[in-house]
Structures are given as C-alpha cells and as structure tokens.
Structure 1
Amino acid sequence: MTLPPLREVINRHGLIASKALGQNFLLDEQLLSRIAAIPGKLQGQQVLEIGPGPGGLTRALLRAGAMVTAIEMDKRCFPALAELGESFPGQLRVIEGDATKVDHGIEGPYHVVANLPYNVGTALFVGWLSGESWPPRWSSLTLMFQQEVAERIIADTGSNAFGRLAVLAQWRAKPRIAMKVHRSAFTPPPKVMSAVIHVEPAEMPEGVSARMLERVTEAAFGQRRKMLRQSLKGLPGALAALETIGIDAQRRAETLSVAEFVALARELG
C-alpha cells in the first residue's frame, strides 16, 4: 500500500517532537521495516506499541500484517494515527494515556515492539520483566533504548555496565542487541546512539520469588562500591544467607553472577 512519506505526515499535522515527552521520530522506512522484522513473522499476531508518535513504526508493523494496539498520550498524534488506521482497516487500535498506567486489554500472547520514549523506557522494561507469574503474557520484547541502557541490559558479570538491570533481564529471559541505530536516523537527532534490544522469555528457576530478587538487587547495587556485608546489612537474613550459600561477604555486587543472585534470593525465600 502506498502511503505518504512520513516527513509529509509530520509537516501536515504540525508534529514537532516533544522533548518533555522524550520523543525522537524515526523517518527511515527501510530501517523501520527492519525493526518490525526482528520479532519474526507478525502476520495476524497481536502487537503492543508504546508511543507510536506519527506512526512510523506503526505502519511498518501494519504492513507486516500485525494487529497493533498503540498507546499514545500525545493528542497531537491522533489525527495521523487515525489516517493510518483507515488505510489498514481493523488492524489498528489506539489507546490514549500513559503506558505506565493504562491497561492495553490485549488477550492472549502478544509481542511488544516500540521506539520507547527515553523518559519512561527503563521503567516500562522493568515492569515487563517483573511479577511472579511466568512465562509472561508477552511473547517477545523488541525495544529501542539509548545504547548505554541496552549495553547495561546484556552486560556480563564484572563489567562496569553490569548491574540490577542485567540481573532482572537475564535471570529468566534472553536479551540481545538486535541492531544499533545511529543518532542521525532520528528527527531531531538525540545526543546519544541507540540500540534495539530483543528479549524472549526463558525458563524460570524454581523456588525463587521475583520480588525477593528485586529487593536483593536493589540493595546490592544501591551501594555498588561497597562490600556486600555493608550493602546488604539492611536486608533481613541476607548476611546469614550469604554464608549459607558460600558467597564471600567481602565481594562487591558487580562480581556476583546472575546465578549467584538467584541463589541468594532463593535462600531468602
């Protein structure tokens, strides 16, 4: 289907990217199609998109045959999205609101594909990774982040980037950097490079509470320069648990493996 160029749509509707909303628009349709292809075949699949803006990635998803539910809080974008919905009858549903607060109402499995607004991206990501119920309702996450954040998600133990985000992303899921995106691809160009992360659920270790793992990582990395005996002393039972499972309390958080954090959370129950 032939659609007007994205730049024309943006100009016609007077859509200037809002710094307050963390907006940076992607206009390269070839690049957008590559991002939409990362989750695999989307024909007839449910897709959740956060912050579609003028609908650049949305049109790539619709062309791939996806049934898209898009959450957008910028009212300026609704006319452009409505036009897109008319071009793909029955494939696009737009929900007005804050993605951290509204329920998308999608039943059954769905993929999340989004050029996330920078100001809420990490919070949404942690939310999708959290919760005791696993496997999650989503089948995969394909998300645009600042490259620095993406590298924190896939970081290995012992690296400067390794922290709470890496543990939460890796203990029961498989994250990878699917592609890097130059700052010049955006309008306006952000000050930093970006990367697309792709995440698929993995098997959840038995006997571990997700909430306890979150508490352990929050405490351990809250004072990451300190030894565990100092950073974990405020978490009841943590120091005894370290001794029980044989982790030296003089180590620092970034030296522990994901498996060791899981073992600690399991011991704490």
Structure 2
Amino acid sequence: MSALDELPPLRDVIRRHELSARKSLGQNFLLDLNLTGKIARAAGPLDGVTVVEVGPGPGGLTRALLAEGARVIAVERDARALDALAEISERVPGRLEVVAGDALALDLSALAARAGGGGPVRVVANLPYNIATPLLIGWLSAEPWPPWYDALVLMFQREVAERIVATPGNKVYGRLAVLSQWRSEPKILFDIAPSAFVPPPKVTSSVVRLVPRAKPLPCPQPALERVTAAAFGQRRKMLRQSLKMLVADPTPLFEATGIAPTARAEEISVAGFVALANALADAVRGKPVPAALPQP
C-alpha cells in the first residue's frame, strides 16, 4: 500500500475541512477515484512529467495524478482547500506544490518552468466551470509557440466541449472552435455523468485533450479574433455584411482569399478564417492585399 492509499476518503476530507462546494467558484467535486484515475491515465504516461492542475479542491484528481508518477503544481483559489492539499503533500515529499491564487491572474508558464526542471509540462484539470473557457483561450494564446505545455487534458461542460471540436456546418461551430483548432488538435475523450460529482451539476461533463500543433498556420491572433468575432457575432448574415464591422469595404478581403462574399461564418474552415485574418492584417497595415490563396 502506498502513502497515497493511506489518505482518508474524500468525503471525510470534505466534511473535516468544511469544503462544501461553492457555486461562486464553479466548484463540483469529483469523488469517484475510478474516474479521477481514468482522467489521469488519459493524460498519458506521467513519469517525469510536471502537471499543472487548476482547481484541485479536496484533491481527488491530485491523488490520481501523483499515483501515475507526476509531479504536480496545484493552483487553488479556495483557501479552505489548502490544508486538505497540504495533507497530500506531506505523503509525497517534493512532488506536490500547492499554489494559492487565481489561475487567471497567475503566470502558470513561469511556475511550471521553475518547477519542471526542463522536463515536459502538461495541464490536467477538472476546471471550475465559470473560468474554463477564459483559461483555455489564455493557454491557446501563449507566446512564443509551441507553448510551454505539451498537452491540455481538461474537463468542460459537454456543450463547451462540443463547441471546441465542432466543424464547419455544425450549428455550434464558432469562434471557440476556430481558435482551438487553429493552434491545437482537440478531441473529446469521454463523458462523465452529473451523478459522479458533488454536488451534481445539471449537465454532463466531457474530458477533452488538446495537443498543440507544432506549426499552426501563420496568423496574427488579434486579427483572427477580430474576424471571428465579427463573422460569428452576426452568423446569420453573409460575410460581406458582417465584416463591414472591420472595414468599410471588405471586398479586397474576399478577392485576396477566394472566399465568396455571400458565404456565412459557419461555412468557413479554420484555414479560411486564417486567410481572412491575414488579409485583414495586411489591409489594416495599409499594405496591398495579396493575390487569392487556394483553399485547402
């Protein structure tokens, strides 16, 4: 029996530390150790890997990650959970660093670099629902690229997971799909029923793995965000209308990319949006818009 096996049941930890889940923090605790183990194994072999975990709560997933051989940096905003996490840290000296703070405000790349010793870094987390999407966008916006992590294995509400992996023509295809798929290859691994959580959320959750693309299509991210915001902000309109939010006459953008001005946002591939963003960036800089590019 390992030192981790001797830890008390998670329900006892929650009761002893008065860790009732708070809606304001987006907390839903996963107590089924079979499921936390499944998530940890989905992150791949973890020996020699530094894992950044956001929102560990009472530490169910933390235990599973440590059991798989990871060194863990656990970032927790809820001060009530710190003592519970410290009890885990005492059982695995030097392998669990608990950082008190808001993951949205912390430089996680610097934390990982300091602790990782040059080895691979992975983000594995049951993300608090209320900050999951902002965190993902921040990690996909990392500079320089390839980023400081080699994979993200994250839990989202099922509807958010479906938006991440959606393809053109799908009714939930939108900005999140374009930004996610431009720089990474996302895949839904499995679902987790509401009954597995305390308290049970009203929706199913999904574990998603996102692997960074080594060489995403070159594109200034601010331009891509502007184009997708304009296009999907008025997704029922043709692009010749919706892109007028960005330039008075978007005709040169269509001439540069070969995209039909009568197309709608949900019809355009990620590569198509990248082409539009590059054309927009050139137009804004006052450069001639390049000749039409072939669409993959």
Relative to the length of structure 1, the TM-score reads: 0.96
Match of 2:53 among 45, 49, 54: 49
Amino acid at match of 2:138: G
Among candidates 38, 60, 63, match of residue 64 of structure 2 = 60
Structure 1 position 206, deviation (Å): 4.5
State the match for 2:231 in structure 1: 220
Of 179, 183, 186, 1:175 maps to 186
SS at match of 1:171: helix
- Contact 1:132 1:211 survives alignment (8 Å): no
Shift of 1:207: 3.5
Residue 251 of structure 1 and its aligned partner are, at CA, apart by 1.4
User: Once the two structures are superposed, what CA deviation does each residue of 1:209-264 show, in whole Å capped at 9, x if it has no partner?
Assistant: 12221221111111112211121112137442122222111211011111111111
Cα deviation for residue 16 of structure 1 reads 0.2
How much has 1:95 moved relative to structure 2?
1.0
Q: Return the offset for 1:64.
A: 1.0
Corresponding residue to 2:17 among 13, 28, 31: 13
Distance 2:141 2:250 in 1: 21
**Secondary structure of the residue that 1:44 maps to in structure 2?**
coil
- Equivalent residue letter for 2:253: A
How many correspondences in the alignment?
Answer: 269
The CA distance in 2 between the partners of 1:206 and 1:19, in whole Å, is 39
Deviation at 1:132, TM superposition (A): 4.7
**Is 1:268 the counterpart of 2:273 in the alignment?**
no
Whether 2:254 is the aligned partner of 1:245: answer no
Deviation at 1:133, TM superposition (A): 2.1
Do the aligned partners of 1:233 and 1:239 also contact (CA within 8 Å) in 2? no
* Amino acid aligned to 1:90: G
- Cα distance change, pair 7–136 in 1 and its aligned pair in 2 (3 A): same
- Over the residues paired in the alignment, what is the CA RMSD in angstroms? 1.3
* Match for residue 192 of structure 1 among 176, 183, 203: 203
Displacement of 1:80 after TM fit?
0.3
Write out per-residue CA displacement over residues 45-76 of structure 1, whole angstroms, 9 at most, x where no aligned residue: 11100010000100101111111111111000
Instruction: Give 1:214's aligned amino acid.
Output: E
Q: Structure 2 counterpart of 1:176, which letter?
A: K
Residue aligning to 1:79: 83
TM-score by length of 2: 0.88
Distance 1:207 1:43 in 2: 33
CA positional deviation for 1:120: 0.2
Choose from 156, 178, 189 the match for 1:145: 156
**Identity percentage of aligned residues:** 57
Bigger helix share: 2
Structure 1 203/106 Cα, relative in aligned 2: closer, same or farther at 3 Å? closer
Give, in whole Å, the separation in 2 of the partners of 1:126 and 1:205. Answer: 15
Name which one, 1 or 2, has greater alpha-carbon Rg. Answer: 2
- Residues of 1 paired with 2:209 and 2:35: CA distance? 16
Q: What is the CA distance between 1:204 and its match in structure 2?
A: 2.8
